[in-house]
């Protein structure tokens, strides 16, 4: 069936592109890609959907866009300007969007011989490569993933994050993976 083949191709490409976006944007999750609305210069600014309600800083993230993914950013750019990406025009909610990505990743995984390839593997891979291959300090990896350290809660009140260290780490990880 030609329509089914087209849909599978679309999901495959969507999955590949979103996995690369996630990896190159410090493991941004699909809900945040789907809902992102703010960009200043070359930086995507968003509040992590998963944890924003539990945090004073609303789990704010500021991620510089690596040049290598600019074509993917442009491909999915929302022409209306309502959001950064047009995913909401094709999927009614972030759950449907995530389901489509993971469906495509299953297809990619079967081609590559990787069992159960999921979107979150981009985030896990980013963290693992940052620490083990690039030598990024574990606390910077922790900060780049926007995790909370309960032992630092009081200290965090006094620090206004600028995301410079996180973005330097990301540039090194992206360079390590994509430069040969």
What does the pLDDT read at residue 113?
Answer: 95
The CATH number of whichever domain residue 130 belongs to comes to 1.10.443
Q: How far is CA 12 from the centre of its chain?
A: 17
Give the total number of structural domains in the chain: 1
Range of the domain at 162: 2-178
Question: Which of 2, 23, 5 is CA-nearest to residue 117?
Answer: 23
Question: Which of 10, 11, 78 is CA-nearest to residue 38?
Answer: 78
Arithmetic mean of pLDDT, 147-165: 73
pLDDT interval class at 3 (50, 70, 90):
very low
Mean pLDDT, all residues of the chain: 89
pTM: 0.89
What does the pLDDT read at residue 154?
Answer: 63
What does the pLDDT read at residue 60?
Answer: 87
pLDDT interval class at 2 (50, 70, 90):
very low
Residue 70, pLDDT above cutoff 60: yes
């Amino acid at each position: 069936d030609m329509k089914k083949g087209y849909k599978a191709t679309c999901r495959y490409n969507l999955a590949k592109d979103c996995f690369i976006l996630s990896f190159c944007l410090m493991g941004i999750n699909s809900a945040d890609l789907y809902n992102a609305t703010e960009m200043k210069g070359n930086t995507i600014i968003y509040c992590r959907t998963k944890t924003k309600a539990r945090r004073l800083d609303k789990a704010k993230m500021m991620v510089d866009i690596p040049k290598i993914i600019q074509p993917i950013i442009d491909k999915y750019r929302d022409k209306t300007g309502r959001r950064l990406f047009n995913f909401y025009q094709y999927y009614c909610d972030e759950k449907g969007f995530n389901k489509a990505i993971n469906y495509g990743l299953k297809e990619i995984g079967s081609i590559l011989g990787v069992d159960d390839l999921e979107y979150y593997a981009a985030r896990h891979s980013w963290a693992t490569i940052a620490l083990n291959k690039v030598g990024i300090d574990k606390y910077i990896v922790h900060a780049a993933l926007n995790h909370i350290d309960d032992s630092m809660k009081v200290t965090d009140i006094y620090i206004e994050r600028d995301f410079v260290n996180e973005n330097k780490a990301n540039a090194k990880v992206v360079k390590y993976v994509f430069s040969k």
